[in-house]
Structure 1
Amino acid sequence: MVIENNNTFTDSKHRVLARKYRPLNFKKLIGQFNLVKTLSGSIERDRLAHAYILTGVRGVGKTSTARIIAKLFNCPNPEKIPEISINPCGSCDSCLGIAAGKNIDVLEIDAASNTGVDNIRELIDGIGYKPLTSKFRVYIVDEVHMLSKGAFNALLKTLEEPPDHVKFIFATTEIRKVPITILSRCQRFDLQRVLSETLIEHLKWVCDQEGIKASEGALQIISRLSEGSVRDAMSLLDQSASISGDNIKSETINFMLGLPSRDSSIGILEKTLQGDISEALNLFDTVINHGSNGETVVSDMLDILHLSTRMHVLGAQNENISLSSIPESEKIGIKKLSQLPLAHLTRAWQILLKGLEEIKSSPNPDEASSMVLIRLGYSSHLPDPASLVKKIKEITDSNEDKTSILEKSDASNIEIQEETSSESDLTKINLESFEDLVELFKNKGELLIHAQLVSCVHLVNFNKGEIDIRIVGNTNSTIAKDISNNLKNWTGLDWIVNLVDDQGDETLDEKKNRLEKEELEVTKNTPEMEKVLKAFPNAQLKSVKDTKD
């Protein structure tokens, strides 16, 4: 039998703590004071919305809040409390029926398993019926983001103008997946993660109720791992109590979950950042041999590094929120790490964060983790970018005067050398044939003109300083001028390029193709090739290549 006001149970069967201590009224709902104050105040003043949507991370009380709201809607004698306006009485038939899940006017639907249009149509068909025993007919739709697009569309009209006796309460962890058309028809409430101090106090109260002994360090670990989720914290507490015989210590939780002790993680990080890679790896191996894994160790080091960096930036006195639930031994290590330069802390964060991605995709996460530690330890000997830039600037400034003097003294010599070298380079270019001229354009990187010379130019006459050519195909209209200007720049001589209508020689491409065909015919008629073709009747000779090339 359930007795709501003190959350006690006379059932002899064991119930998991997360269910046994589920909040049944606003007084037991922890960490959501602003939401409780707003909701209870609006209900007390009879300013009721027809639809509410509750969102937040897992285990912060969305479904429990929805049930409490349903109780307040239908409770005939709510109790008035100064801090939170009103609270369901917990003793009337309506409150007891909702707590036991037997109230026929409060329907709780799991949208994850009722996602389709037909499920929503069944719900809509029942909306027209008035409540039998209560003031309102309440529909609680859990994980509403799992509904299909068609199901959401089917709900729109009813949700916009429901009957006066109908109330909707939606709960979701993925508010972004809920269509804006649904959100605009609801009052939205965001449930916050429960603060670590509040969660630890709640765990202590549960331990007192259950006769469980738990050390402060153990509760702090549970609070940190649950990440503000009350249900996660209660599940961890229940599991820890089962394995430790109602005497929970931090070592018990670390062993149960394969976690490194926080002091070990601080020691590994401290040795690594000091560049003592050998000692850091010894500590790491010890932690791994005690049942932890590399990914967990690196994640723990990231958490420590985050706290240390915040302390460095904000100062120890202003960082009470993050450090309030941390044991004194861990605070000492974190404060020591926070004294490192900010550039070193941020660089370590980047290396560990990148390393964590590599660990997750590695075939052997422990080996990958040790390599990340080695990389971090090696980087600890390197200067930070700011000091490196400063040092480079100092060296550059000290060499500027010497460089300027050398530049002035060598300027005249350099100019003379450049003139001499350019003249000697020009005299080295000697074009004896049209093929030499075409090859020069290729060597100088003028590939477009080179391609046109090979495939579109018929040579009519070639003399040093003057050539006559006939152009066929698509070429630049300024090809003659371009050829002349480039040759003058490269050879130092004036070149005249005349465009004529005479037939001239075949293009270099045509000449190449002709020679290849002639060589192919000659090779095909050799005795050796005739034997090959006779032995392989369907074979064809496609090309001939010199083996020396």
Structure 2
Amino acid sequence: MTETPVDEGPGLGLDAPSQPAAVETEYRVLARKYRPQSFTQLIGQDAMVQTLGNAIKRDRLAHAFLLTGVRGVGKTSTARLIAKALNCIGPDGEGGPTISPCGECEPCVAISEGRHIDVVEMDAASHTGVDDVREIIEAVRYSAVSARFKVYIIDEVHMLSKNAFNALLKTLEEPPPHVKFLFATTEVNKVPVTVLSRCQRFDLRRIPAERLVEHFRWVVGEEGAESDEEALALIARAAEGSVRDGLSILDQAIAHGTGGITAQQVRDMLGLSDRGAVRRLFGQLLEGDAQAVLATVQEQHDLGTDPAALFRGLLETCHGIVRSKVGGAADPALSSEERAAYADWAAGLGFGALHRIWQLLLKGLHEVETAPMPIEAAEMALLRIVHAAGMPDPGELAKKLENGEIAAASAPAAPGGAPGAGPEGAMPADFPALIAFLEAQGAHMMAVRLHDQVGLVRYAPPALVIKPLQPMGEDELREIAALLKDKTGAHWTVETSDGPAEPSLLEREKAAIDAERQSVLDSPMVKAAFEAFPDAELTDYKLAQGR
């Protein structure tokens, strides 16, 4: 095929200069074809470009730069642009370092084509050893052959071995004036601090979804294709801030369809769940319709939807409802129907319910991803949400109990009797009474655990909020709730909190004993005895009756 020059447009440029019209070239994927050739084409990194521009104008260039960020945001492309900016001589051959390299002079062209002898690129993933770094150390002593600066670009620098880093330190700290080092990495935490301290660091940001949509729209136009906005928004969301990932998906989408890129096409290609089905399933979960939930899950499974993708769709729905409730900016990938549905749910659901659904969905996603039978795990996790949806909100229930709007739940079971046959048909009056009740019911171990290991945050039967003094997992909380239900006949909710709590009953008893002992030590008779016998110890005491 024959390639023609591509206009710069609002986004990324070419990976290499355009070939003459008569030259046949191989097809290049979009991620390479639309790489930036100037800083004006580098999207989403305005702060870094401004800093570099000011440094070049004021001749305050560092000898080493470290570029870090997630995949596909332009680290290696930026390193090549810096190399061009440092070595550009302008169309007339008289220019100096500039933030706007001309792209026409021999250094610019040679660097773009990857053939400049003084710009050396090294992949640290395949050149990890000290011998590879030793070659660089030996070469930096010699001046550049034809460029202003000799530039070393080391990609994925965190892959260098410890010895390789150590060998590079001295040269990196005091390189010859004609040498510049440009490092790129996705895992900056693996780069030694001794190296970080010798570099000027730039953190490249994820590209916002709105900016990616704008860029992808331009690329689609350049490619002579068509697409709808929702499809581009879905691709931008799937890219997660990475231009390269997004362009790879877009490349696949253009090849996938013949009549333009549609949202449904992108969903099918990426294995995303049908958003209409997800909304229908979310509504069924809220209604507590177990049969409808199972039917929808089976329907999506028959269509080839991954159960994990279904849960991710439900999580996105829950997140969208919460954002709608707090007035957050609308997701550009949402259709008008989705926005309307989210607004309706946001008006009818409280934050507590939404947060519980989120936690249950998150737990369900983990179970689906790790279970040997994903579809069964998905059904069980969703049925758990169905049953939770029918339970009253613990906070609202506690308020109603306190206000006397509803009677206390089922009474405690009498020893050896059925639930509801407890003393005066009421719940234990307070937390100590609850522990005494459990002891009387034969639940000695649980009574000791609640007595010794928890502080009380709120006691509003059948709701109990505690602050564990030792780590306590969800299984233990369910065990406590199940035992309380068995002994009282009521459905208890047992939760933990990190907020203020009363001391445990054991701590209160110890404090009372200490206070009593101190009162004995402070009595005039005991003080006089200690003054007469300084080496005496109080080993035991007995208070007189009435005290």
Deviations 1:465-521 (A, max 9, x none): xxxxxxxxxxxxxxxxxxxxxxxxxxxxxxxxxxxxxxxxxxxxxxxxxxxxxxxxx
CA distance in 2, matches of 1:109, 1:366: 46
**Alignment partner of 1:371: what SS?**
helix
CA distance in 1, matches of 2:425, 2:313: 52
**Residue 348 in 1 paired to residue 357 in 2?**
yes
Closer, same or farther: CA 398–202 of 1 in aligned 2, 3 Å: closer
Deviations 1:301-355 (A, max 9, x none): 112212221322x22xxx22x5244322222222233231101100011111111
**Greater displacement, 232-241 / 252-261:** 252-261
Q: Tell me the residue number matched to 2:334.
A: 326
CA distance in 1, matches of 2:138, 2:269: 50
Higher share in helix: 1
**Residue 242 in 1 paired to residue 255 in 2?**
yes
**Alignment partner of 1:58: what SS?**
coil
1:382 corresponds to which of 369, 381, 391: 391
1:361 corresponds to which of 367, 370, 374: 370
Closer, same or farther: CA 186–66 of 1 in aligned 2, 3 Å: same
Task: Indicate conservation of the 8 Å contact 1:53/1:169, yes or no.
Answer: yes
**Alignment partner of 2:233: what SS?**
helix
CA distance in 1, matches of 2:407, 2:279: 43
**Greater displacement, 240-249 / 341-350:** 240-249
Closer, same or farther: CA 139–243 of 1 in aligned 2, 3 Å: same
**Residue 145 in 1 paired to residue 153 in 2?**
no
2:379 corresponds to which of 370, 376, 396: 370
Task: Indicate conservation of the 8 Å contact 2:400/2:406, yes or no.
Answer: no
Larger radius of gyration: 1
Q: Tell me the residue number matched to 2:289.
A: 276
Tell me the CA shift for residue 216 of structure 1: 1.0
* Residue type of the alignment partner of 1:250: A
CA distance in 2, matches of 1:211, 1:129: 49
TM-score (norm 1): 0.68
**Alignment partner of 1:23: what SS?**
coil
CA distance in 2, matches of 1:359, 1:331: 28
CA distance in 1, matches of 2:62, 2:5: 29
CA distance in 2, matches of 1:146, 1:49: 23
Tell me the CA shift for residue 150 of structure 1: 1.1
**Residue 193 in 1 paired to residue 201 in 2?**
no
Q: Tell me the residue number matched to 1:184.
A: 197
**Residue 210 in 1 paired to residue 223 in 2?**
yes
Tell me the CA shift for residue 251 of structure 1: 1.3
Identity %: 46
Q: Which runs of 5+ in 1 are unaligned?
A: 80-84, 408-549
CA distance in 2, matches of 1:268, 1:255: 19
Task: Indicate conservation of the 8 Å contact 2:118/2:151, yes or no.
Answer: yes
1:113 corresponds to which of 126, 132, 137: 126
CA distance in 1, matches of 2:6, 2:360: 51
**Greater displacement, 344-353 / 32-41:** 32-41
Task: Indicate conservation of the 8 Å contact 1:78/1:88, yes or no.
Answer: no
Q: Which runs of 4+ in 1 moved over 3 A?
A: 1-12, 391-399
**Residue 129 in 1 paired to residue 142 in 2?**
yes
Task: Indicate conservation of the 8 Å contact 1:196/1:325, yes or no.
Answer: no
Closer, same or farther: CA 326–40 of 1 in aligned 2, 3 Å: farther
Closer, same or farther: CA 229–218 of 1 in aligned 2, 3 Å: same
CA distance in 2, matches of 1:287, 1:111: 44
Q: Which runs of 5+ in 2 are unaligned?
A: 9-13, 93-97, 409-423, 430-547
* Residue type of the alignment partner of 2:363: K
CA distance in 2, matches of 1:180, 1:3: 44
Residue-pair matches, total: 394
Closer, same or farther: CA 205–246 of 1 in aligned 2, 3 Å: farther
**Alignment partner of 2:99: what SS?**
strand
Alignment of 1:3-402 (within 5 A): 6=8, 7=14, 8=18, 10=21, 11-77=24-90, 86-245=99-258, 247-312=260-325, 314-315=326-327, 319-320=328-329, 322-339=330-347, 340-394=349-403
* Residue type of the alignment partner of 2:148: K
CA distance in 1, matches of 2:227, 2:6: 26
Tell me the CA shift for residue 3 of structure 1: 5.8
CA distance in 2, matches of 1:78, 1:214: 39
Tell me the CA shift for residue 203 of structure 1: 0.4
Give the RMSD, CA atoms, in angstroms: 2.5
Task: Indicate conservation of the 8 Å contact 1:71/1:95, yes or no.
Answer: yes
Closer, same or farther: CA 93–4 of 1 in aligned 2, 3 Å: farther
Tell me the CA shift for residue 397 of structure 1: 11
Task: Indicate conservation of the 8 Å contact 1:105/1:136, yes or no.
Answer: yes
**Alignment partner of 2:272: what SS?**
coil
**Alignment partner of 2:218: what SS?**
helix
